Amino acid sequence: MSDELKDIFVTQPMLPSLDHVMPMLEDIWSRKYVTNFGHYHNLLEKQLSELLDAPHFSLFSNGTLALLIALKALGLKGEVIVTPFTFPATVTCLEWAGLTPVFCDIDKNSLCIAPDKIEGLITEETSAILGVHVYGIPCDVLKIQQIANRYELKVVYDGAHAFMSTVNGTPISDFGDATMFSLHATKLFNTIEGGGVAFKDPEVKAIADKMKNFGLNQGLPEITGINAKMNELQAAVGIANLDILGAERQNRQKLKVEYDKLFKNIKGIRTFSDIMSESLQYYPILVNPEKLGYDRDRLDSIFREENIFTRKYFSPLCSEYPYMKNIAKSASQDMPVAQKVVRDILCMPFYGELLEDGFERIKAIVQKLKK
């Protein structure tokens, strides 16, 4: 019976067996080289560059600093047009980089920044568009690039959820000047904490590589930097995790199919599987309260009563944060789609092991919902 009440969280970290990690730790200990671009850091950087098909790929201590440095290395100034429907890190990076966020509404189908709303927000001060491939759903990368070309803007993507996503077979990081991937424990592929950026221009990568190491060039200060290096322990966990990534992806794929089947016949719940590309990061659902007979908050509490911790990602909108109201330029009244979505969205628990352990409980609850 106690098993019935086991907590089910929205995700659980993919962890390699300790047997696999220990020999690498022993090797790191014997080398006494534990950070600063060591053997395992360089190996993981190369392996991820190949896996993501991103020739100018750089590792960082976490995704947030990775994004911050990407913005700095691109030399952005002034205003950046950004989605309000994301995790705080996306937008706080802008503030740390001295840039002004200008919030743009989202598209009702993709939930990503709405390309047709971008142009109206461009001013003399605009230097870039920062899109988020939210839940791994690709932004409208082609339209965004057209706008950027027309106004000579840079394009940066927060691809924290888009590890291995593609757009019609093209790796997602082919689009934009830089794409950040988060390698945090809650993300599909993790190094416990960690991040990476795929840069388009090798010269920008070279600047970022100095920036993450105090701005040093061959040991001498050259530009303003910070410390955002990935250490050898993080890299070793990543290397070990690469070996189980395929199995985790397969299990998540199966889980996705089961969720699709489960929600298919529930009127009032929309799923996103058809547009999620290869992303296996989250399983979001959008509630239509009129059709379902419950609103999102009620549905969330129905799950919670059974110790199933669905999450209202990404509520509230970034434009609603108390500290954003004074910083950002656009008011959230201008974002009707984002304001609606943020009330109706819910992320279901999603990780490989769930299918074997816990999914039946979710299924039983969903099947009881009004058809």
Ligand X SMILES: *Cc1c(COP(=O)(O)O)cnc(C)c1O
Nearer of residues 58 and 62 to ligand X, judged by Cβ: 62
State the angle between helix axes of 18-31 and 39-51 in degrees (0 to 180), rounded to the nearest 10.
130
Instruction: Give the separation between CA 329 and CA 30, rounded to whole angstroms.
Output: 53
Residue 301: count of CB within 10 angstroms of its CB: 11
Compute the least distance from the CB of residue 89 to ligand X, in Å. 4
- Give the separation between CA 339 and CA 121, rounded to whole angstroms: 18
Give, as ranges, the residues between 301 and 330 that touch ligand X (CB under 6 A): none
Q: Applying CB under 6 A, does 165 fall inside the site for ligand X?
A: no
Burial level of 258, CB count in 10 A (0-12/13-18/19+)? middle
Q: Which of 140, 158, 209, 344 binds ligand X (CB under 6 A)?
A: 158
Single residue of 48, 89, 112, 156 touching ligand X by CB under 6 A = 89
Q: Is 195 in the site for ligand X (CB under 6 A)?
A: yes
In the complex with ligand X, the residue whose CB is nearer, 314 or 359, is 314
Task: Write down the H helix ranges in 172-315.
Answer: 202-211, 232-264, 289-292, 296-305
> Alpha-carbon dihedral of residues 168, 173, 179, 184, nearest 10 degrees?
80
> Considering only 8-16, 33-41, 57-65, 211-219, which stretch makes contact with ligand X by CB under 6 A?
57-65
With CB under 6 A as the rule, give the number of residues binding ligand X: 14
Residue of minimal Cβ distance to ligand X: 63
Task: Please identify, among the stretches 48-56, 85-93, 247-255, 341-349, the one whose residues bind ligand X according to the rule CB under 6 A.
Answer: 85-93
DSSP 145: H
Choices 82-90, 238-246, 267-275, 325-333; region in contact with ligand X by CB under 6 A: 82-90
Identify the residue among 85, 87, 135, 303 touching ligand X (CB under 6 A): 87
Residue whose C-alpha is closest to residue 58's, from 170, 203, 199: 199
Percentages helix, strand, coil for the chain (3-state, rounded to 5) are: 45, 15, 40
277 binds ligand X, rule: CB under 6 A: no
Contact residue for ligand X among 58, 182, 191, 330 (CB under 6 A) = 182
CB 342 within 8 A of CB 3: no
Angle formed by the axes of helices 88-96 and 63-73, nearest 10°: 40
Region of 86-94, 117-125, 138-146, 321-329 interacting with ligand X (CB under 6 A) = 86-94
Among 62, 234, 271, 339, binds ligand X (CB under 6 A): 62
Which of these ranges, 3-11, 103-111, 154-162, 262-270, lies near ligand X under the rule CB under 6 A?
A: 154-162
* Backbone phi and psi for residue 17, each to the nearest 5 degrees, phi listed first: -70, 145
Tokens matching residue 242: 């690469």
Q: Rounded to the nearest 5°, which phi and psi values hold at 127?
A: -115, -20
Q: C-beta of 135: minimal distance to ligand X in Å?
A: 9
From the list 20-28, 50-58, 87-95, 163-171, the region that binds ligand X by CB under 6 A is 87-95
For residue 342, the surrounding DSSP H or E stretch is: helix 336-344
Please identify, using beta-carbon distances, which residue of 10 and 207 lies nearer to ligand X.
10
Binding residues for ligand X (CB under 6 A): 62-64, 86-87, 89-90, 132, 158, 160-161, 182, 184, 195
